Amino acid sequence: MTAPAIWIGFPLAVAALALLIPNERVNAALGGVAAVLLSAIALFIPFDSALLIGPFSVKIASSFQILGRSLVLDPANGALLAILYGLAALWFFGSEAAGVARRLVPLGLGVLALMVASIAVEPFLFAAIFIEIAALVSIPLITPPGQAPGRGVMRFLIYQTLAMPFILFAGWMLEGVESSPGDLALTLQAATMLGMGFAFLLAVFPLYNWMPMLAEEASPFVVGFLFWCLPTITIIFGLGFLDRYAWLRSSPVMADTLQLTGVLMVVTGGIWTAFQRHLGRIMAYAAVVETGYIILALSVQPASNAIQIIFLSLIPRGLGLAIWALSLTLLSRKADSLRFTSVQGLARALPLASLGVVLANFSAAGFPLLAGFPPRLALWEGLAGDSVLTAFWLSIGVLGLLTGAVRSMAVLVMASEYTEWGWGETWVQRIMLGVGILGLFILGVFPQAVRPLLEGLPLIFNRLGQ
């Protein structure tokens, strides 16, 4: 038994099975249970060592050979796999409440497995192919049957596809840089190609215009899943480049570029958030800001601190987006659209969903006592001695997110005084939202609760984690 077969092959097999099941509840249960099982195995069963279960001996090998290529998930990846599949379980269990389990479970499992393959494949050049396949699988996920793809879907596919040749060319050039590190022209070209590839993959400013478009065109829940899954694993893939190439890690130009890019994404995303009149677009721009924070964290020195900040943000980001996306889905069912004019006063009909939207927004802004606060505080401490100007611009982005949260809250509670309060959510939806909201507060007040999961994550990287 091999780790790639368990965390890549098995999810793909479950995804194929889920495609044949028309029942929403069964799909949600199948996907959620499979994700929980994969998370538990990654957490409790060690790799490359025999484990006795009664009369049986089980050993999970790290590597798997296929078509002359290797898929490698070593013991250091266990905690990462546990987090990824654990968060995926939240999305799959919540897909029934959102009414999208029939699409999200099979296609979402497929996307997640392919993205895991992108960080496991060796040589790393083939990761770009897995990411492109994941983007293609995402198209039927965000485009319901019988509906023509919108502008956001088309731009998403175009940008993800354009990233592949840049990554492939960059990988080819980096092999040349390793053999002749003194060739400055080749080094600059490779770094430029690599930067362009990740700019398309991570929707770096100004290439994120597809995100708010997509948030208007597709179900908020499936869009939120993509906003969580694709950037999160792409960042892990990108960290592998920094870990592999010393000249990338040590380059002051690289650090300055990452800092400038992160600040631009935080500031522009925050400002756009403040002026939106559509709840889905607000979530999209908040996702841009969170990606900007992660890119900005890469510029923190020493590199070990940067890695810790990035990993500290993994769980709050996934949980916050899941609550936000589910809440928006419930609101969109009650209203014609998620525009302010349509959702005005819905807090009295859907109080828990409205609370989920507001709290997830505040958490993304790093509001105290919520899950997003500890990683934001760690990032601010890491940047404190760097530049007062950087801190000032970051505060502009945070202010924009807070403005979007306050405006959303004001619109949702703006109802006639004669409108009665009620519980428009079903009991399943209340449980999902209640557990998620409680999780936001637990992670905000007791961030050390996830410390056992995060301690071993830096070991994924041989140099950055030291």
Residue 23 C-alpha from the chain's centroid: 27
- Rounded CA-CA distance 412/168 in Å is 47
pLDDT at 73: 81
First and final C-alpha spacing in the chain: 31
- When the pLDDT of each residue in the chain is averaged and rounded to a whole number, the result is 86
Other C-beta atoms closer than 10 Å to the C-beta of 451 total 10
Q: What are the CB-based long-range contacts (under 8 Å, 24+) for 302-305?
A: 303/242, 303/249, 303/463, 303/464, 304/458, 304/464, 304/465, 304/466, 305/382
pLDDT tens-digit map of 102-127: 999 999 999 999 999 988 888 777 88
Provide the pLDDT for residue 301: 78
pLDDT score, position 448 = 87
Do 28 and 92 form a contact (C-beta atoms < 8 A)? yes
Torsion over CA of 92, 97, 98 and 102, rounded to 10 degrees? 60
| H-helix segments, 219-313 | 220-244, 246-250, 252-274, 279-297, 303-312
Q: Is residue 281 part of a domain?
A: yes
153 membership: H or E segment, kind and range: helix 151-179
294 in the same domain as 428: yes
- pLDDT-based confidence at 246, cuts 50/70/90? confident
pLDDT of 234 over the 70 cut = yes
**pLDDT interval class at 411 (50, 70, 90):** very high
Lowest mean pLDDT among 60-74, 374-388, 421-435: 60-74
Residue 250 has pLDDT above 80, yes or no: no
* Higher-scoring residue by pLDDT: 194, 353: 353
Q: Is residue 212, in this structure, part of any structural domain at all?
A: no
Residue 86 has pLDDT above 80, yes or no: yes
Residue 230: the pLDDT is 92
Q: How confident is the model at residue 48 (pLDDT cuts 50, 70, 90)?
A: low
Cis peptide upstream of residue 140 (ω within 30 degrees of 0)? no
The Cα–Cα gap between 340 and 275 comes to 12
Residue 40 lies in a domain: yes
Residues 465 and 457: their CA atoms lie apart, in Å, by 8
pLDDT of residue 184: 67
Same domain, yes or no: 395 and 257: yes
Mean pLDDT of 145-169: 87
Range of the domain at 293: 243-459+462-466
Is residue 53 a part of any domain in this protein?
A: yes
Task: Using DSSP, state whether 64 is helix, strand or coil.
Answer: strand
What is the average pLDDT across 255-279? 91
Decide which of 97, 122, 147 is a domain's last residue: 122
Query: Among 55, 90, 122, which residue terminates a domain?
Result: 122
Residues β-bridged to residue 58: 51
* Mean pLDDT on 49-74: 72
Regarding pTM above 0.85, the answer is yes
Which of 280-289, 298-307, 342-351 holds the top average pLDDT?
Answer: 280-289
Look at strands 69-72 and 63-66 and give their pairing: antiparallel
Which whole number is the average pLDDT over 395-408?
A: 93
Q: What is the pLDDT of residue 177?
A: 63
In this structure, the answer to whether residues 443 and 311 fall within a common structural domain is yes
Q: Is the pLDDT of residue 221 over 80?
A: yes
Q: For residues 103 and 249, state if they share a domain.
A: no
Nearest to 371 by CA among 297, 431, 321, 445: 445
DSSP class of 71? E
DSSP type of residue 122 = E
Cα–chain-centroid distance for residue 19?
24
State how far the Cα of 12 lies from the Cα of 4, in Å rounded to an integer.
Answer: 11
Establish if 453 belongs to a structural domain.
yes
Structure token digits, residue 279: 């709840």
CB atoms within 10 A of CB 73: 27
pLDDT on residue 423: 83
70 in a structural domain? yes
User: What number is the average pLDDT over the span 383-411?
Assistant: 87
The number of distinct structural domains making up the chain is 2
If asked whether residues 117 and 257 sit together in one domain, one would say: no
Asked whether residue 269 falls in the same domain as residue 408, the answer is: yes
* pLDDT attached to residue 90: 92
Question: Last residue of some domain: 122, 145, 170?
Answer: 122
Cα–Cα distance for residue pair 168/171, rounded to 1 Å: 5
The Cα-based distances of 84 to 43, 94, 116, 168, 315 in angstroms read: 11, 16, 9, 26, 9
- Residue 147 domain flag: no
List pLDDT tens digits, range 171-212: 777 766 666 656 667 777 778 888 888 899 998 888 899 999
Is pLDDT of 16 > 90? Answer: yes
* Host H or E run for residue 201: helix 184-201
| Cα–Cα distance measured from residue 321 to residue 317, given in angstroms and rounded to the nearest whole number | 6
**Count of CB atoms situated within 10 Å of the CB of 320:** 31
The answer to whether residue 132 sits within a structural domain is: no
Share of the chain above pLDDT 70, in %: 94
Task: Classify strands 121-122 and 69-72 as parallel, antiparallel or unpaired.
Answer: antiparallel
45-54, 58-67, 86-95: which has the highest mean pLDDT?
A: 86-95
Same-domain status, 249 and 378: yes
Predicted confidence at residue 427, as pLDDT, reads 87
